Amino acid sequence: MAAADSVVVIGLGRFGTALAVELMAAGTEVLGIDDDEDIVQSLNGQLTQVVRADSTKEEALRQLGVHEFDRAVLGIGTDIEASILTGSLLVNFHVPHVWAKAISEPHGRILEQIGIGHVVYPEHDMGRRVAHLVRGAMLDYIQFEDDYAMVKTVAPAELVGKRLGDTGVRSRHGITVVAVHRKGAGFTYATPDTVLEAGDTVIVSGRTAAAERFAQLR
Euclidean distance between CA atoms 76 and 84, whole angstroms? 9
* pLDDT computed for residue 2 by the predictor: 63
Q: Which residues contact 133 (CB under 8 A, 6 or more apart)?
A: 140, 141
* pLDDT computed for residue 193 by the predictor: 94
CATH of 125-215, one of 3.30.70.1450, 3.40.630.10, 3.30.460.80, 1.10.1750.10: 3.30.70.1450
pLDDT tens digits, 128-186? 777 767 766 678 888 787 788 899 999 999 999 999 999 999 999 999 999 999 988 88
What are φ and ψ of residue 80, in 5° steps?
A: -65, -40
pLDDT tens digits, 19-39? 999 999 999 999 999 999 999
Q: What is the rounded average pLDDT of the residues 61-84?
A: 95
Angle between helical axes of 80-92 and 105-113 (0-180°, round to 10): 20
Q: For residue 77, what pLDDT band results from cuts at 50, 70 and 90? A: confident
Which residues of the chain are in CATH 3.40.50.720 domains?
A: 6-120
Which residues of the chain are in CATH 3.30.70.1450 domains?
A: 125-215
User: Is the model's pTM score more than 0.75?
Assistant: no
Please compute Rg for the chain using Cα positions.
22
Q: Is 159 exposed, middle or buried (0-12, 13-18, 19+ CB in 10 A)?
A: buried
**Residue pair 128/141 in contact by the 8 Å Cβ criterion:** no
The second-level CATH assignment, the architecture, of 6-120 is 3-Layer(aba) Sandwich (3.40)
Distances (CA, A) of 57 to 1, 62, 120: 20, 9, 24
